[in-house]
Copies of this chain bind each other. A is one copy, B any other.
Amino acid sequence: MNNIRTDLALEAKELWEEGAKETTTLQGVKAKEYQCEGFVCEEVRILDERGEHALKKPVGTYITVNLEGLLTGEEGIFQRAIQVMAKELSQLLQPKQTQGLVLVAGLGNRAITPDALGPKVHDYTLVTRHLVEHMPEQFGGFRPVISLATEVLGTTGIESGELVQAVCEKVKPSCVIAVDALAARSLERLCKTVQLCDTGITPGSGVGNHRIGLNERSLGVPVISIGVPTVVEARTLAIDLLHGQTHPLLEQGEGLFVTPKEIDRQVNEFAKVIGYGIGMALHQGVCLSDLEYLLG
């Protein structure tokens, strides 16, 4: 498992199971599968250090929503996808904070298509802090929201994590929602699933490999993270295909990624679903056509 890269807890669990002896059971982890709005959801809960150690992810709840079919244009599927995002996100927010300012942070590099998920979710996020503050009567039903596209170290000179810290210290949000493109292990999940979790962003994760984390420890408030696997590293694919054999091609695989041909369009669709889903989860009484008008 060591060399196989995945940012999905669900895949980390599968990898553990592939490597485990038949008789072993995975301690410190609970999993369940359920349906929501017609989509299959899988929840992996890492309960303690044993689970952390086995899956190499921090203690917390990881939900994978399977949105396969989103791009078929099936009647109503886009609306259902937004609903499932809103419901699952509300679920994760509930035990934390249901009031107060929310900071949405879109991580990643807009200029690299598979890494542009975060900046594009930022584009589709309804920001309201300025409205709620200046026109409280009209915007009573809205939760105050601010949103940033943090860009990347190479274009700003400042780590995404440090920039979000700076803003948190200034505006004191009740929680942060961080959105980022992920690396998966399996071609099956590429641009087909969304992972939501309550542990934030772990250093080393994401298409852009964040150097510092965005989590409750670094930011001082709960951090929900939302991600879509948009790449499989070519190295990971090769290791998987070769079942551990070495191969000269593996050396060349550095910096190469497998993506779907229509990655530009797919990233955009997922960004809309996530951005509108965040809007539906945070604001009472806002409807989808309002979001489409304001952000479309």
Interface flags for A9-33 (1: CB within 8 Å of B; 0: not) read 0000000000000000000000000
Q: How far is the CA of A159 from the CA of B255 in the complex (A)?
A: 34
Chain A residues 152-187 with CB under 8 Å of chain B are: 153-159, 162-163, 165-167, 169-171, 187
Assess the B147–A156 pair: CB atoms within 8 A: yes
| A255 to B, closest residue via Cβ | B261
Number of copies: 4
Interfacial chain B residues near A240, Cβ < 8 Å: 249
Chain B residue at minimum C-beta to C-beta distance from A168:
B166
CB-CB < 8 A to A162: which residues of B? 170-171
Chain B contacts for A242, CB-based, 8 A: 241-242
A264 to B155, CA, bound (A): 15
Report how far A165 CA is from B167 CA in the complex, Å: 9
Q: Are B111 and A265 in contact (CB under 8 A)?
A: yes
A112-126 CB mask vs B (1 if < 8 Å, else 0) is: 110000000011000
The verdict on A252 contacting chain B, using a C-beta distance below 8 Å, is yes
